[in-house]
Chain A
Amino acid sequence: MPKLKLGFISAVNERVEPLMKGIVQAEAIEIVPTYSHPSETFLRQLRDMEFPVGEMSMSSYLIARERGLDMIALPVFPSRRLFHTELSCHTDSGIKKPADIAGKRIGVSEYQQTAALWQRGILEHDFGVSQYKVHWYMERTEELSHGGVTGFTPPPGISFQRIAPEKSLASMLVDHELDVAAINSPWKNAPSQLGRSQRIPGAGGDWSKIKLLFDDRIAEGKRFFDKWGFLPVNHAYTIRGDIYRKHPWVAFNLYSAFVKAKQHFNAKLADSMPSALFFGKEYLTRTQAMFGSDPYTYGVKGNRKMLETLIDFSHEQGLISKKPKIEELFAKSTLEL
């Protein structure tokens, strides 16, 4: 049977891996996978739309769509994280609790990235720290940033600075030129062309002075989920407009395959714990008691509250000028899913 061959770019993701590896297949589609760091993926996709199907930053997608980007998203959200719990602070900064961040210098990889959007939104709405009361520092250069492609300019009223090219989030934080920085992400050990903390880790600094803003991430995760009812999403997948118009069936077929891939992973999850955790199943039970048996909900219906919040945050942070309807963002065959 002939199949439509589609280039596909994504990070390694446990829920998507069965599809990228070919254990699960999309009907009528042969995927040609490229594994890539998300920051590089989004730059290549936003700038040159190299891949017919690719992982995409939710925040940059909202911004780029407003500017006419010719892509359509699938309601497939393969990664969720509690981004605000990934913030670390310097102990000399006098920060004891999130509210103390007002007036401080906070560093992020990129101002418009989805992680930073959630961090700003949650600091403002849950901890009363206005985005205008914080001094924002961004690591990525204009040329090598997603904002460089989508025409980013700092929103009016925001105190915005760039980190000098010979420095990084890590080096600035450890030298206490930043008070807080988002450096605790799972990507910190995977070098990319865009980030510098891996290459410029800070020479003589004292890392014992760097502490997590939330010393109990599990308690904060529970608080957040109990209040909001979802876990924050940063990425989705998009189909390039020309492909979607020529083969509109690709959207539904791919969505079904993403769902199957996730089910395949979930079925093996309990047995895929490294034995060195010893209590992997007990820990999984704890996490599921907090967030339900599958917090990685796909589809528009199960994500309406999360998507509305994301759009609200994007708009109130001045990243987009008007709020899009959720229905405009996703392929129409997936809107009821």
Chain B
Amino acid sequence: MNGTITVQGVNLIPTYSHPAETFWRQLKFGEFEVAEMSISSYLIARTQGADMIALPVFPSRRLFQTELSYHVDSAIAKPEDLAGKRLGVAEYQQTAALWIRGVLEHDFGVSQFKIHWYMERSEEMSHGSATGFKPPPGISFNRIEKHKSLASTLQQHELDIAHVSSPWVLQANTLDRSSRIAGKGDWSNIKPLFPDRLAEAARFYQHHGFLPVNHAYIIRGDIYRKHPWLAASLYDGFLRAKQLARERLTEQIPAALMFGQEYLAMTLALIGDDPFPYGIKANQAMLDTITGYSHEQGLTPRKMKVEELFAKETLDS
């Protein structure tokens, strides 16, 4: 994006944007020729005929279930205790929430139908508004009132648990309200569901063999049909950019950590030497899981095939 790496034949005009806003703009208005995209919303939009094609470029991976925080009065001691509780997410169909539901169900035996789901984003300002979201049959679904937020309702114990410790919590955007409606600010009664995130990461990685992905990049259909070469050229640029970031990673680690190299070695020992693999082959299990979760959660009417999701020029990657 800053031009250190260039893509052959393309002059990129970058706009930096919060993902929540990017996806809303892109799903509703298709403003950009190339854009970051929510994988969950992409799966949904594609079953509805959205005219875009994805690249197997997955720039962010997080352990979303480890970003859940609960109120200490909610009688939650372990993930299994979530059955029957009120759980808040920014948006029901967002990829983070998809992974949270799937992991709770498959790894901890908590059925999605046994949880009361609360969603913060309003109907107008949500990705679901662009893809015609309706709560899947059998799901207990509620919206958080407009003058409240995930943060404020969790602090008031109007939610038992919420996805609010994400890196974006402090970054304001027009869709999410927790940074604007921060509640009383008393977080002393709020605890992370997984007190040892490293241990849960190790468990997840050993069990599944990958780290959950939430975003990919897409090319708008009209541009892709006009310039099909863009897919391979952009993919190549993304790969080179990632390689450069990896080479520079050590110097990006703040010296204040004192043991940056040791900590990085710990991370790689836990989750492999390349925690951000791009391409289809290295992501087969992850893609199979995410398309499976999307279907079983009633977000997509059928399980999407990997071959229909990505530009054909990248299918052998």
Contact = CB atoms under 8 A, between A and B. Distances in A.
Partners in one complex: yes
Interface of A: 13-15, 79, 81-82, 186, 189, 217-218, 221, 231, 265-266, 269, 271-280, 282-284, 287, 291, 295-296
A278 B167 CA distance: 11
B253 A277 contact: yes
A82 B258 contact: yes
B73 interface: no
Contacts of A277: 253, 263-264, 267
B198 interface: yes
Given A271-B167, A277-B263, A278-B267, A14 B256 contact: yes
B60 A275 contact: yes
Given A14-B255, A265-B256, 19 more contacts: A14-B254, A15-B256, A79-B255, A82-B258, A217-B259, A218-B259, A269-B254, A276-B249, A276-B264, A276-B267, A276-B276, A277-B253, A277-B263, A279-B198, A279-B263, A280-B257, A283-B259, A287-B256, A287-B258
B197 interface: yes
Contacts of A291: 258
Interface in B230-274: 245-246, 249, 251-259, 262-264, 266-267, 270-271
Interface in B187-214: 197-198, 201
Nearest to A291: B258
A111 B22 CA distance: 56
B170 interface: yes
Contacts, number: 75
A265 B256 CA distance: 10
A79 B255 CA distance: 8
Contacts of A266: 256
A72 B164 CA distance: 49
B275 interface: yes
Nearest to A275: B60
B201 A284 contact: no
B167 A275 contact: yes
The 10 closest A-B pairs by CB, nearest first: A283-B263, A274-B252, A218-B259, A278-B267, A287-B258, A287-B257, A279-B198, A276-B249, A277-B267, A14-B254
Contacts of A280: 257, 263
Nearest to B60: A275
Interface in B71-119: none
A278 B256 contact: no
Contacts of A283: 257, 259, 263, 266
A78 to B, nearest CB: 9
A218 B275 contact: no
A79 B167 CA distance: 28
Contacts of A186: 251, 255
Contact of A271 (B170, B198, B257, B267): B170
A246 B297 CA distance: 74
What size tier do the contact residues of chain B reach? 20 to 34
Interface of B (DSSP majority class): helix
A326 B198 CA distance: 45
Contact of A273 (B63, B201, B254): B254
B254 A272 contact: yes
Most-contacted residue by chain A among B62, B253, B256, B264 (CB, 10 A): B256
A284 B262 CA distance: 12
A80 B185 CA distance: 35
A266 B256 CA distance: 9
A56 B170 CA distance: 38
13 contacts: A79-B255, A186-B251, A189-B251, A273-B253, A274-B252, A274-B253, A276-B276, A278-B201, A280-B257, A283-B259, A287-B258, A291-B258, A296-B256
B214 to A, nearest CB: 12
Nearest to B165: A281
Contact of B201 (A82, A274, A279): A279
Given A271-B167, A278-B271, A284 B257 contact: yes
Interface string B8-48: 00000000000000000000000000000000000000000
Contacts of B246: 276
A201 B296 CA distance: 56
B14 to A, nearest CB: 19
A269 B281 CA distance: 36
B196 to A, nearest CB: 9
Contacts of A271: 167, 170
Nearest to B264: A277
A282 B196 CA distance: 9
A14 B260 CA distance: 14
Contacts of A272: 254
A99 B211 CA distance: 44
Contacts of B245: 276
A263 to B, nearest CB: 13
Contacts of B255: 13-14, 79, 186
Contact of A279 (B167, B258, B267, B276): B267
Nearest to A294: B256
Contacts of B262: 217-218
Interface string B149-168: 00000000000000000010
Nearest to A274: B252
B179 to A, nearest CB: 13
A291 B270 CA distance: 25
Contacts of B170: 271
Contact of A287 (B198, B259, B275): B259
A15 B255 CA distance: 9
A37 to B, nearest CB: 14
